[in-house]
Structure 1
Amino acid sequence: MTNPEAESFAELIADCADIPAALRTRGQDLPGQRAASPWEVDDATFAQVSNLEEFV
């Protein structure tokens, strides 16, 4: 089954309104955002860009 593209915002809104309520309601809440790990640069990574200014 293929759905044609909506040609106007009104048609898009009408298409979205046709989505069953079971698919529009929230299920379980998503887990909270985790803190990012701190960045660490090892010697191998630093070596890849140590002479970068020569190429720029």
Structure 2
Amino acid sequence: MDATQTVNETSENRQDVLAKERKRVLSRNPGNSRKSKFLSGVQALEMFVEVTDE
């Protein structure tokens, strides 16, 4: 297994975990504005990660 394959798999796993966490937080407390601000921060981080991974 080469290094890029490992990085890609790790990236996919991280996206998976973040998506699950986002769903969990949203389903637990959809009306909390602090949560939604946190989530938009997470989404911005994800976009940054996707750009820097390429």
Q: Could you state the TM-score of these two structures normalised by the residue count of structure 1?
A: 0.28
Which protein shows a greater Rg?
1
Structure ranking higher in helix proportion: 2
Report 1 or 2 for greater relative contact order, CA contacts < 8 Å, sequence distance ≥ 6. 2
Q: Could you state the TM-score of these two structures normalised by the residue count of structure 2?
A: 0.29
